Structure 1
Amino acid sequence: MTQTAAIIGGGVIGAGWAARFLLNGWNVRVFDPEPGAEERVGAIIDRARLALPGLGDVALPPEGELTFCKLMSETVAGAAWIQESVPERLELKQTIYQKLQEHAEESAILASSTSGFTPSELQAHSNNPGQILVAHPFNPVYLVPLVEVVHSGKNHPDMIDNAQEILSSLGMYPLRVRSEIPAHIADRLLEAVWREALWLVRDDVATTKEIDEAIRMGFGLRWAQMGLFETYRIAGGPGGMAQFMAQFGPALKWPWTKLMDVPELTDELIHKIAEQSDDQSGHLSLDDLQSARDRNLVGIMRSLMREGWGAGDMLNKADRAREAGRAMARQLADIADLSQPVLTMDRAVPLDWLDYNGHMTEGKYLHAFGNATDRIMEIIGCDPEYVAAGKSFFTVETHIRHIDEVKAGAPLQIRSRLLAGDGKRMRIWHEMTSGDRLLATGEHMLLHVDLETRRVCDAEPAVAAAMRQLAEAQAALPEPDGAGRAVGQPR
């Protein structure tokens, strides 16, 4: 049964939450009485549809149903998760909780997106305080995985565990904050950098652009993969963190920073910062900046996926969980009907697969077919362990036909069959589709090799038998249109 999430407040954060739930298969109800709320939320969800489905390598579940409600009572009725993202005014939040809890299920999780208030403050006037906790996300919520989960002694441990499980199922990284503290963890770190940046601008040491360049050209690149302490561990050399602290620790007492002092936000300082920011980015529209941000985030996180590092490791785990739930074949025994083409890829087109024409670039068709070939190899037993033992398949010929175009966020499936398979060679046929549309076909000839001699050899008996079994089971299928076709040959 599809679960329902209620979103209270449809600003940038609330709309991001709506997209995160909706694109992970939840039904979503949104309450926001402000004029134009439906258009604003819809625009952010449309942006998320381009970016989120292609972030991982496994397709998301079918999208849920989106509803805009006129009443809060209607919004929360029967919802399993209620996410509050209204303005940062404590009395407003407390008043809204009282109204929400009159109509919400007692088992529902009522989470706040607050960046500063503690759960105890939010729970102060509630008749059911244990239902309320903090789930503080980061913009854009539909892409950035971190969400700080903050609780008080009034929250039952089972409820907190359940909240973390739900957030993990959405492809997020729930960071459980050990104790209540205003602004939690990440924003306290951000505020420290923000204060220092304000002083640098105020004292004409640097402009807004120069400060941003210092971050994105320098330590920001390291932080994305290793954070703070792991980065400094490397800086310590062979002695690790202990050596780093001994070498640089005394510098903490030098008057380098003004962490606890905040410059007065005078009209002059505000004007200076706004003017410099306009000079830096005023030639770009908000849509330009958001689109660039999403493309860059997807590219960075997908790069980290290849290394299994930081956010990439979390995304790989989310992919494996989705794939397990979908029972994608990894060995011959997983395939219910060997006589039919095998589903070897089920995902969406990521933003970093696009070319200058706005559709999937040529090289990514080969990349996708290569991944489908790897899945066929795995199914017949040529898995990482087999390769580590010294045998594998090498591709010796490839023919790809580009039939139709596909754009970012579109569903992408590949179904594969063996046209031939004996002890030394394997001929694979792939068909790539998006819905009912055939996008491309790939025909690949592979030879089995000994990785030590780099020469063709017979496959091990189990792999050879599996290859023959699959090829023979699919031999009754009609010859695919285009198989064996030469380049430029008329259809």
Structure 2
Amino acid sequence: MTKRAAIIGGGVIGGGWAARFLLNGWDVRVFDPDPEAERKISEVLENARRSLPGLGNMALPAEGALSFHAELADAVEGVDWVQESVPERLELKHKVYAQLAESVPAGAVIGSSTSGYKPSELQAGMSNASQIVVTHPFNPVYLLPLIELVSTEANGTDVIERAKEIISGIGMHPLHLKKEIDAHIADRFLEAVWREALWLIKDGIATTEEIDDAIRYGFGIRWAQMGLFETYRVAGGEAGMRHFIAQFGPCLSWPWTKLMDVPELTDELVDAIADQSDAQSGMHTIRELERIRDDNLVGMMRALGANNWGAGKLQNDHDKTLREGAGIAAHVDDVADLSQPVLTLHRVVPLDWLDYNGHMTESRYLQAFADSTDRFMEMIGCDAEYIANGGSYFTAETHIRHIDEVHAGAKITVHTQVVMGAGKKMHLFHEMREGERLLASAEHMLLHVDLATRRAAPPSAEVEAALVKVASAHAGLSKPEGLGRAIGDPR
């Protein structure tokens, strides 16, 4: 059955809602009097189509149909959900709700993206108050999963459950606030941090970049995977939350912050926090929580490294220093002994490279060997600048032999031999080892390509000269075991 959502207001947030529904198979109808609305939403959709499908490991359903409507009544005809994202003016929202009361199906949920108004304020005087709830998202809506679902006694359980079902059905998390409060939950945290940041800048303590660095290199990453209280539970050690409060609670009375209206840490409040923390995380030991935290942090920072951003960029820069110390040359001219296979990889196998059998999964062998190929390309001058100028090597054929198991924590190296390097062709043979133990080998045939035409073409004279230099130096090496081997050949 076709599911339909109406988006009222197509700005950044409305466009994000449209993308989230549309890419999860819903038909989306947009009403926005802005003549630029279609262009703006199309641009948001372009980014969403680029990123959201790669978030999970399953293909999304077929994209729904997107339509734009000049009349509000046409946009909401037959819909299951209405998302109101008009500007934060209460009189404007009330005007929209009054119009919606005349045309929205009785069974539809009307959600508001408001970050400031309470649902009781939105519902006041509205004949369709029972349908109206706050569904406050976070930008970008098509990626961030949190929705603060805020209701009042005017909303029946059927409306709340329907809202939860629909929000969950598009891959989001409905955090149901049963008691309304100004700015809901998340924005109250953000406002507290924001106010303190403004004071730090005003008082000349820190710059905007220094404040952002404090967040993105420190507690921001921890919060992303465990939130506030679970993070502090771990910080309390084996004694848990009560010990943390006993140790750090007194600092709340110190003049650290401009926000000094702090609740007294009464026995009742300490008991409530500790009991709730036990219910949240008590099924895990502190050591288990630490390992979960560490795995999450490594995974997130490695993901940031793929974009060379934040803590990931910091690690990438550190890796460059470690690479030099490991003896991986920046250029073939810097290789100490070019008569032997060249060291192109020296790393430890991370936890996220393991499969269900507890050893390195097949795709990670290819990644390690591909990283080695990339490193060798840089050594002969086919680096980022060269590629940006229109030339690169494309892998035409690969063969990997899995010889021995590799486990997390193994310190592996890859040495690369040039079997043939001349003209457009580059034939590489990699061997992966842990110490002297041979773990795997890979044979790669690459062709140099003109990125403008996407066709094979000769490399630059400098790149070819560097490649030929290594190929000539390796010409005297014996044929590596496994070279040219086909699947099923006797070992």
Q: TM-score category by the smaller chain?
A: 0.5 to 0.7
Q: 2:75 & 2:44 partners in 1: Cα distance?
A: 20
Q: Which has the larger radius of gyration?
A: 2
Aligned to 1:59: 59
Residues 9-52 of structure 1: CA deviation (Å, up to 9, x unaligned): 00100000000000101010111111211111110110111010
Q: Any idea what SS the aligned residue of 2:101 has?
A: helix
CA apart distance, 1:245:
0.5
Aligned pair in 2 of structure 1 residues 102, 243: CA closer, same or farther (>3 Å)? same
Aligned pair in 2 of structure 1 residues 35, 307: CA closer, same or farther (>3 Å)? same
Which stretch of the first structure deviates more once superposed, 13-22 or 117-126? 117-126
CA RMSD of aligned residues (A): 4.0
Aligned pair in 2 of structure 1 residues 393, 104: CA closer, same or farther (>3 Å)? closer
1:439-458 maps to which residues of 2 (within 5 A)? none
Aligned pair in 2 of structure 1 residues 124, 42: CA closer, same or farther (>3 Å)? same
Aligned pair in 2 of structure 1 residues 354, 211: CA closer, same or farther (>3 Å)? closer
CA apart distance, 1:194:
0.8
1:173 aligns with 2:173: yes
Aligned pair in 2 of structure 1 residues 202, 177: CA closer, same or farther (>3 Å)? same
User: What is the identity, as a one-letter code, of the residue corresponding to 1:219?
Assistant: F
Runs of 4 or more above 2 Å deviation:
304-309, 350-355, 391-395, 439-449, 485-489
Q: Is the 8 A contact 2:19 2:45 kept in 1?
A: yes
Q: 2:362 & 2:35 partners in 1: Cα distance?
A: 60
Aligned to 1:406: none
Q: 2:91 & 2:396 partners in 1: Cα distance?
A: 57
Q: 1:353 & 1:251 partners in 2: Cα distance?
A: 38
Q: 1:199 & 1:218 partners in 2: Cα distance?
A: 20
Higher relative contact order (CA 8 A, sep 6+): 1
User: What is the identity, as a one-letter code, of the residue corresponding to 2:149?
Assistant: V
Equivalent pairs counted in the alignment come to 315
Q: Any idea what SS the aligned residue of 2:258 has?
A: coil
TM-score normalised by the chain length of structure 1: 0.57
Unaligned runs of 5+ in 2: 262-291, 309-351, 371-394, 408-442, 447-483, 485-491
Q: Is the 8 A contact 1:77 1:104 kept in 2?
A: yes
Q: Is the 8 A contact 2:113 2:136 kept in 1?
A: yes
Unaligned runs of 5+ in 1: 262-303, 313-349, 356-369, 375-383, 403-438, 452-484
Aligned to 1:197: 197
TM-score normalised by the chain length of structure 2: 0.57
CA apart distance, 1:216:
1.1
Q: Any idea what SS the aligned residue of 2:222 has?
A: helix
Aligned to 2:221: 221
1:138-177 maps to which residues of 2 (within 5 A)? 138-177=138-177
Q: 1:20 & 1:45 partners in 2: Cα distance?
A: 9
Aligned pair in 2 of structure 1 residues 260, 11: CA closer, same or farther (>3 Å)? farther
Q: 1:394 & 1:87 partners in 2: Cα distance?
A: 51
1:107-118 maps to which residues of 2 (within 5 A)? 107-118=107-118
Q: 2:19 & 2:175 partners in 1: Cα distance?
A: 20
Aligned to 2:86: 86
Aligned to 1:364: none
User: What is the identity, as a one-letter code, of the residue corresponding to 1:252?
Assistant: L
CA apart distance, 1:154:
1.0
Aligned to 1:38: 38
1:52-451 maps to which residues of 2 (within 5 A)? 52-259=52-259, 384=356, 387=357
User: What is the identity, as a one-letter code, of the residue corresponding to 2:61?
Assistant: P
Q: 1:244 & 1:447 partners in 2: Cα distance?
A: 49
Overall identity of the aligned pairs, in %: 55
CA apart distance, 1:178:
2.6
Q: Any idea what SS the aligned residue of 1:114 has?
A: coil
Q: Is the 8 A contact 1:393 1:447 kept in 2?
A: no
Aligned pair in 2 of structure 1 residues 210, 447: CA closer, same or farther (>3 Å)? closer
Aligned to 1:271: none
Q: Is the 8 A contact 2:396 2:445 kept in 1?
A: no
Q: Is the 8 A contact 2:29 2:75 kept in 1?
A: yes
